[in-house]
Protein backbone atom coordinates (compact mmCIF):
# COMPACT_ATOMS: atom_id res chain seq x y z
CA UNK A 1 0.00 0.00 0.00
CA UNK A 2 1.40 3.37 -1.02
CA UNK A 3 0.82 6.79 0.43
CA UNK A 4 -1.73 7.63 -2.28
CA UNK A 5 -4.12 4.73 -1.43
CA UNK A 6 -5.90 6.74 1.27
CA UNK A 7 -6.66 9.61 -1.04
CA UNK A 8 -9.44 9.81 -3.59
CA UNK A 9 -8.47 8.34 -6.91
CA UNK A 10 -10.28 7.00 -9.96
CA UNK A 11 -8.26 3.82 -9.69
CA UNK A 12 -9.82 3.03 -6.31
CA UNK A 13 -13.27 2.55 -7.85
CA UNK A 14 -12.39 -0.97 -8.98
CA UNK A 15 -11.57 -3.19 -5.96
CA UNK A 16 -8.34 -5.22 -6.28
CA UNK A 17 -8.38 -8.98 -6.66
CA UNK A 18 -7.99 -11.07 -3.50
CA UNK A 19 -5.02 -13.43 -3.78
CA UNK A 20 -5.73 -16.69 -1.95
CA UNK A 21 -2.50 -18.59 -1.10
CA UNK A 22 -2.47 -22.26 -2.09
CA UNK A 23 -3.16 -24.75 0.71
CA UNK A 24 -0.11 -26.89 1.61
CA UNK A 25 -0.48 -30.67 1.58
CA UNK A 26 -1.57 -32.36 4.81
CA UNK A 27 1.27 -33.48 7.08
CA UNK A 28 1.62 -37.21 7.37
CA UNK A 29 3.99 -38.73 9.92
CA UNK A 30 6.60 -41.21 8.78
CA UNK A 31 5.81 -43.42 11.81
CA UNK A 32 2.80 -45.68 11.89
CA UNK A 33 -0.05 -44.67 14.14
CA UNK A 34 -0.74 -48.24 15.26
CA UNK A 35 2.53 -48.49 17.23
CA UNK A 36 2.04 -48.19 21.02
CA UNK A 37 4.09 -45.65 22.97
CA UNK A 38 7.22 -46.85 24.75
CA UNK A 39 6.16 -45.16 27.96
CA UNK A 40 3.18 -43.17 29.15
CA UNK A 41 2.17 -40.93 32.02
CA UNK A 42 -1.45 -40.46 30.91
CA UNK A 43 -2.99 -43.00 33.32
CA UNK A 44 -4.79 -46.31 33.06
CA UNK A 45 -6.67 -45.47 29.85
CA UNK A 46 -3.44 -45.14 27.91
CA UNK A 47 -2.21 -48.39 29.49
CA UNK A 48 -5.39 -50.12 28.33
CA UNK A 49 -4.81 -48.88 24.80
CA UNK A 50 -1.23 -50.15 25.01
CA UNK A 51 -2.42 -53.62 26.08
CA UNK A 52 -4.99 -53.67 23.24
CA UNK A 53 -2.30 -52.80 20.71
CA UNK A 54 0.18 -55.37 22.04
CA UNK A 55 -0.96 -57.92 19.45
CA UNK A 56 -0.44 -55.47 16.56
CA UNK A 57 2.96 -54.52 18.03
CA UNK A 58 4.08 -58.19 17.96
CA UNK A 59 3.08 -58.50 14.31
CA UNK A 60 4.85 -55.26 13.37
CA UNK A 61 8.04 -56.24 15.23
CA UNK A 62 8.02 -59.65 13.53
CA UNK A 63 7.81 -58.05 10.08
CA UNK A 64 10.75 -55.71 10.76
CA UNK A 65 14.35 -56.85 10.21
CA UNK A 66 15.91 -57.10 13.65
CA UNK A 67 12.92 -55.76 15.58
CA UNK A 68 12.38 -59.18 17.22
CA UNK A 69 15.21 -58.60 19.69
CA UNK A 70 14.05 -57.84 23.22
CA UNK A 71 10.50 -56.98 24.11
CA UNK A 72 7.98 -55.64 21.66
CA UNK A 73 7.55 -51.86 21.37
CA UNK A 74 5.51 -50.72 24.32
CA UNK A 75 6.50 -53.72 26.47
CA UNK A 76 8.94 -51.78 28.64
CA UNK A 77 6.35 -49.62 30.36
CA UNK A 78 5.92 -50.02 34.11
CA UNK A 79 2.75 -51.33 35.64
CA UNK A 80 1.39 -48.76 38.13
CA UNK A 81 -0.05 -51.58 40.25
CA UNK A 82 3.25 -53.47 40.43
CA UNK A 83 5.46 -51.21 42.58
CA UNK A 84 8.19 -52.05 45.07
CA UNK A 85 6.75 -52.70 48.51
CA UNK A 86 8.43 -52.53 51.89
CA UNK A 87 10.71 -55.51 52.65
CA UNK A 88 9.89 -57.10 49.30
CA UNK A 89 13.59 -57.45 48.46
CA UNK A 90 14.89 -57.98 52.00
CA UNK A 91 13.74 -59.64 55.20
CA UNK A 92 13.77 -58.37 58.78
CA UNK A 93 16.49 -59.49 61.18
CA UNK A 94 15.16 -62.24 63.48
CA UNK A 95 15.35 -61.73 67.21
CA UNK A 96 17.61 -63.71 69.57
CA UNK A 97 14.81 -65.92 70.93
CA UNK A 98 13.78 -66.85 67.38
CA UNK A 99 17.39 -67.80 66.51
CA UNK A 100 17.67 -69.89 69.68
CA UNK A 101 14.43 -71.65 68.82
CA UNK A 102 14.87 -72.17 65.06
CA UNK A 103 18.65 -72.08 64.39
CA UNK A 104 20.63 -72.74 67.59
CA UNK A 105 23.70 -73.85 65.58
CA UNK A 106 24.36 -70.23 64.58
CA UNK A 107 25.10 -69.34 68.20
CA UNK A 108 27.91 -71.90 68.56
CA UNK A 109 31.40 -70.31 68.62
CA UNK A 110 33.61 -71.08 65.64
CA UNK A 111 36.76 -71.48 67.79
CA UNK A 112 36.98 -72.51 71.46
CA UNK A 113 39.45 -70.78 73.74
CA UNK A 114 42.05 -73.01 75.38
CA UNK A 115 41.76 -73.41 79.16
CA UNK A 116 44.67 -72.13 81.25
CA UNK A 117 43.43 -73.14 84.71
CA UNK A 118 43.50 -76.77 85.96
CA UNK A 119 40.31 -78.71 86.05
CA UNK A 120 38.13 -78.73 89.11
CA UNK A 121 38.55 -81.99 91.07
CA UNK A 122 35.75 -84.46 90.71
CA UNK A 123 33.35 -85.27 93.52
CA UNK A 124 34.64 -88.84 93.75
CA UNK A 125 38.31 -87.78 94.05
CA UNK A 126 39.65 -88.08 97.66
CA UNK A 127 42.79 -86.32 98.97
CA UNK A 128 45.73 -88.24 100.44
CA UNK A 129 45.34 -88.39 104.23
CA UNK A 130 46.85 -89.99 107.38
CA UNK A 131 50.52 -89.48 106.36
CA UNK A 132 52.72 -89.49 109.52
CA UNK A 133 56.46 -88.56 109.79
CA UNK A 134 58.81 -89.44 112.69
CA UNK A 135 61.09 -86.44 112.10
CA UNK A 136 61.46 -83.91 114.93
CA UNK A 137 61.58 -80.64 113.02
CA UNK A 138 62.58 -78.55 116.09
CA UNK A 139 65.72 -80.60 116.78
CA UNK A 140 66.55 -80.90 113.09
CA UNK A 141 66.38 -77.11 112.61
CA UNK A 142 68.57 -76.52 115.67
CA UNK A 143 71.23 -78.97 114.45
CA UNK A 144 71.27 -77.37 110.97
CA UNK A 145 71.79 -73.92 112.44
CA UNK A 146 74.61 -75.09 114.76
CA UNK A 147 76.51 -76.93 112.03
CA UNK A 148 76.03 -74.25 109.38
CA UNK A 149 79.16 -72.32 108.31
CA UNK A 150 79.20 -68.56 109.06
CA UNK A 151 78.15 -66.34 106.19
CA UNK A 152 80.68 -64.06 104.60
CA UNK A 153 79.91 -60.40 105.06
CA UNK A 154 79.48 -58.54 101.78
CA UNK A 155 80.15 -55.16 103.39
CA UNK A 156 83.92 -54.63 103.43
CA UNK A 157 85.64 -51.34 104.14
CA UNK A 158 87.36 -49.86 101.08
CA UNK A 159 91.01 -48.99 101.25
CA UNK A 160 91.31 -45.71 99.36
CA UNK A 161 95.10 -45.68 99.69
CA UNK A 162 95.41 -48.59 97.28
CA UNK A 163 93.23 -47.14 94.53
CA UNK A 164 94.66 -46.91 91.03
CA UNK A 165 94.13 -43.13 90.74
CA UNK A 166 95.21 -42.30 94.28
CA UNK A 167 97.08 -38.97 94.38
CA UNK A 168 96.15 -38.08 90.78
CA UNK A 169 93.93 -35.27 89.49
CA UNK A 170 90.47 -36.61 88.62
CA UNK A 171 89.44 -36.59 84.98
CA UNK A 172 86.34 -34.48 85.58
CA UNK A 173 88.51 -31.66 86.99
CA UNK A 174 90.62 -31.68 83.83
CA UNK A 175 87.49 -31.36 81.65
CA UNK A 176 86.22 -28.48 83.83
CA UNK A 177 89.57 -26.67 83.55
CA UNK A 178 89.49 -27.12 79.79
CA UNK A 179 85.95 -25.59 79.59
CA UNK A 180 87.01 -22.61 81.74
CA UNK A 181 90.06 -21.99 79.59
CA UNK A 182 87.92 -22.11 76.44
CA UNK A 183 85.51 -19.53 77.91
CA UNK A 184 88.39 -17.20 78.84
CA UNK A 185 89.81 -17.53 75.32
CA UNK A 186 86.43 -16.68 73.79
CA UNK A 187 86.09 -13.59 76.02
CA UNK A 188 89.61 -12.47 75.08
CA UNK A 189 88.83 -12.82 71.38
CA UNK A 190 85.62 -10.79 71.74
CA UNK A 191 87.50 -8.04 73.58
CA UNK A 192 90.18 -7.93 70.91
CA UNK A 193 87.53 -7.70 68.18
CA UNK A 194 85.89 -4.79 70.00
CA UNK A 195 89.18 -2.98 70.26
CA UNK A 196 90.04 -3.57 66.62
CA UNK A 197 86.56 -2.73 65.34
CA UNK A 198 86.56 0.19 62.82
CA UNK A 199 83.25 1.52 64.19
CA UNK A 200 82.21 2.97 67.54
CA UNK A 201 78.98 3.90 69.23
CA UNK A 202 77.93 7.53 68.82
CA UNK A 203 77.45 9.43 72.05
CA UNK A 204 74.33 11.37 72.98
CA UNK A 205 76.18 14.69 72.82
CA UNK A 206 77.24 14.06 69.23
CA UNK A 207 73.70 13.07 68.24
CA UNK A 208 72.21 16.18 69.84
CA UNK A 209 74.77 18.43 68.16
CA UNK A 210 74.02 16.93 64.73
CA UNK A 211 70.26 17.17 65.25
CA UNK A 212 70.50 20.86 66.25
CA UNK A 213 72.60 21.61 63.18
CA UNK A 214 70.15 19.83 60.87
CA UNK A 215 67.23 21.71 62.41
CA UNK A 216 68.97 25.04 61.87
CA UNK A 217 69.66 24.11 58.27
CA UNK A 218 66.02 23.06 57.82
CA UNK A 219 64.85 26.46 59.14
CA UNK A 220 67.09 28.30 56.70
CA UNK A 221 65.93 26.30 53.68
CA UNK A 222 62.32 26.48 54.75
CA UNK A 223 62.57 30.30 55.00
CA UNK A 224 63.75 30.45 51.39
CA UNK A 225 61.12 27.94 50.34
CA UNK A 226 58.29 29.93 51.94
CA UNK A 227 59.38 32.98 49.98
CA UNK A 228 58.35 31.38 46.68
CA UNK A 229 55.24 29.50 47.79
CA UNK A 230 53.03 32.59 47.30
CA UNK A 231 53.75 32.51 43.58
CA UNK A 232 50.73 31.12 41.76
CA UNK A 233 52.49 30.81 38.42
CA UNK A 234 55.87 29.21 37.96
CA UNK A 235 56.42 30.38 34.40
CA UNK A 236 60.16 29.76 34.18
CA UNK A 237 62.28 26.63 34.38
CA UNK A 238 64.51 28.19 37.04
CA UNK A 239 61.62 28.77 39.44
CA UNK A 240 60.37 25.20 39.00
CA UNK A 241 63.82 23.68 39.60
CA UNK A 242 64.42 25.95 42.61
CA UNK A 243 61.14 24.85 44.23
CA UNK A 244 61.84 21.16 43.55
CA UNK A 245 65.36 21.55 45.01
CA UNK A 246 64.02 23.10 48.21
CA UNK A 247 61.46 20.30 48.62
CA UNK A 248 64.10 17.59 48.08
CA UNK A 249 66.49 19.15 50.62
CA UNK A 250 63.75 19.53 53.23
CA UNK A 251 62.65 15.90 52.86
CA UNK A 252 66.25 14.66 53.06
CA UNK A 253 66.92 16.66 56.25
CA UNK A 254 63.75 15.22 57.83
CA UNK A 255 64.92 11.69 57.00
CA UNK A 256 68.35 12.37 58.52
CA UNK A 257 66.80 13.69 61.74
CA UNK A 258 64.60 10.59 61.94
CA UNK A 259 67.66 8.33 61.59
CA UNK A 260 69.52 10.24 64.33
CA UNK A 261 66.63 9.65 66.76
CA UNK A 262 67.48 5.95 66.97
CA UNK A 263 68.85 4.50 70.22
CA UNK A 264 72.13 3.06 68.84
CA UNK A 265 74.12 4.59 65.99
CA UNK A 266 77.57 3.36 64.96
CA UNK A 267 80.08 5.64 63.24
CA UNK A 268 83.66 5.39 62.06
CA UNK A 269 86.09 5.12 64.98
CA UNK A 270 88.52 7.64 63.53
CA UNK A 271 85.89 10.18 62.46
pLDDT in tens, 20-60: 999 999 988 887 777 766 655 554 444 444 444 444 444 44
Q: By the 8 A CB rule, do 215 and 260 touch?
A: no
b/e per residue 75-86 (b: at least 16 CB within 10 A)? eebeeeeeeeee
Residue 211: how many CB atoms within 10 A of its CB? Answer: 14
- Measure the CA–CA gap between 217 and 257, rounded to whole angstroms: 11
Residue pLDDT, tens place only, 199-215:
777 888 888 899 999 99
Predicted local confidence at residue 144, as pLDDT: 93
- Measure the CA–CA gap between 88 and 90, rounded to whole angstroms: 6
Predicted local confidence at residue 16, as pLDDT: 82
- Measure the CA–CA gap between 183 and 189, rounded to whole angstroms: 10
DSSP designation for 39: -
- Measure the CA–CA gap between 124 and 122, rounded to whole angstroms: 5
- Is the pLDDT at 219 greater than 90? The verdict is yes
Amino acid sequence: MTMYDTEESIYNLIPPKVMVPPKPPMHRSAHKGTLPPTGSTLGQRTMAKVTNLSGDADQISAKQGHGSWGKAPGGYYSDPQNYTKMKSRSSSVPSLPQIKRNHPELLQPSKLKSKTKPKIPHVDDKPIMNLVSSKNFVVANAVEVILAAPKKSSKTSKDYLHKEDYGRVPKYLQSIKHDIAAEYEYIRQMQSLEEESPVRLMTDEEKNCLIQGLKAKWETINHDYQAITHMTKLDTVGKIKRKEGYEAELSQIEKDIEKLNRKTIYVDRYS
